[in-house]
């Protein structure tokens, strides 16, 4: 009897785990993962403009420099997903995997992760390090990126 109950419980847990994946299949994340080439086309072409910041986008953005093995990076990822949905159409959130895009990480002097680059539509970007709480991120979006002081 215990084996049947254990088997039933195991099947239930597996169904719950895979059901969540099935719900998310086919849904594109609002957070966009970028390669170096995409970054240079959508955010900043540092090879073409090495001495001057020239933003290539038309909406304010956040770029999250992260690594898959980083605990704080994993903690902030769902928060950035929520914010990307909440501010959809007003800002763009990008992610750069520093292990895959070492040249980008080096170009920006990324030595600590997560590092967030806040980019207003006009003006110079600002950098923040660490897994900031959601309220701090919202304040930066509202005040710095959207100018709603």
Report the length, in residues, of the chain. Answer: 149
Q: Are 80 and 64 in contact (CB under 8 A)?
A: yes
Q: Given 70, 84, 104, 145, which residue is catalytic?
A: 70
d(CA 132, CA 134): 6
Is 17 noted as a catalytic residue in this protein?
no
Both tokens of residue 55? 């933003």
Using alpha carbons, select from 103, 75, 96, 108 the residue that is nearest to residue 31: 96
Q: Given 31, 34, 43, 73, which residue is catalytic?
A: 73
d(CA 53, CA 72): 28
Both tokens of residue 133? 């709480």
Q: How many C-beta atoms lie closer than 10 Å to residue 113's C-beta?
A: 23
Is 73 noted as a catalytic residue in this protein?
yes
- List residues with catalytic annotation: 70, 73
């Amino acid at each position: 009897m215990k084996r049947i109950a254990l088997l039933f419980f195991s099947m239930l847990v597996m169904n719950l785990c895979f059901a969540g994946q099935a719900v998310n299949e086919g849904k594109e994340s609002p957070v966009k993962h970028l390669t170096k080439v995409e970054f240079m086309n959508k955010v900043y072409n540092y090879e073409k403009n090495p001495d001057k910041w020239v933003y290539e986008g038309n909406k304010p953005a956040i770029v999250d420099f992260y690594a898959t093995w980083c605990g704080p990076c994993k903690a902030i990822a769902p928060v950035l997903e929520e914010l990307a949905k909440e501010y959809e159409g007003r800002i763009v959130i990008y992610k750069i995997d520093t292990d895959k895009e070492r040249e980008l990480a080096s170009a920006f002097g990324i030595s600590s992760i997560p590092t967030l680059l806040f980019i207003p539509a006009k003006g110079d970007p600002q950098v923040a390090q660490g897994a900031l709480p959601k309220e701090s991120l919202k304040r930066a979006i509202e005040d710095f990126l959207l100018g709603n002081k």
